[in-house]
Amino acid sequence: MKPAVLIPGKKEAFANYQLAVEAAGGRAVFSGDAGDLAQCVGMLLPGGGDVMPWRYGQENTFSRDLDGERDSMEFAFLEQAVSAGKPVLAICRGMQVVNVFFGGTLCQDLPGHSRLSGGIDRLHYARTAPSFLTPLYGAAQIINSAHHQAAACLGNGLRAVQWAPDGTVEALEHTSMPIYAVQWHPERMRGPFATCGATAGDRLFRAFLNRCAQKK
């Protein structure tokens, strides 16, 4: 049976993530019960709306599309994954959840990183430090951008490993746990969404499944 990756939430909300996991050789399992993580090799935290600002000690100034129930669910899943030592791949909002979970903060509004008119992702260069990303992409990438928030102060145990030209943190990894996070959207840089010259998102999903296999 293909290795199962748990995605918190409902299947219909995250079709692109399911396709990306399956194309990489895995099986996406959707659930709202953190106990189901025990039957999976790892977890994927997907993109979405903003995290409740009170979780990182701020008043709401620019946050939108807030969903307290989703926050509670994903924080519970992440706590379970950390306790069990399960690998985690966090994407966009997922990276922000990871940063806040470990005690970090977020910039609530970041000009120049949201989608372009017509819902098209921006593309820009990013420089990458030696990390989980460098065997896949080297020291420089062209990545997509569709967010208006980003990591500010980093959480405990996290280190930045990739930056946009303006210094925005584009990827994080934990220094002692198998937790990997990107601010960009690899699920929209593969298959029918692939762009010539830009990063191949499939590589990241395959690498994550390989990490999951190593932790079994």
Q: Which residues are catalytic?
A: 92, 185, 187
Map the chain to HEC letters.
Answer: CCCEEEEECCHHHCHHHHHHHHHCCCEEEEECCHHHHHHCCEEEECCCCCCCHHHHCCCCCCCCCCCHHHHHHHHHHHHHHHHHCCCEEEECHHHHHHHHHCCCCEECCCCCCCCECCCECEEEEEEECCCCCHHHHCCEEEEEECCCCEECCCCCCEEEEEECCCCCEEEEEECCCCEEEECCCHHHCCHHHCCCCCCCHHHHHHHHHHHHHHHC
**Using an 8 Å Cβ cutoff, are 150 and 169 in contact?**
yes
CA 51/CA 34 separation, integer angstroms: 19
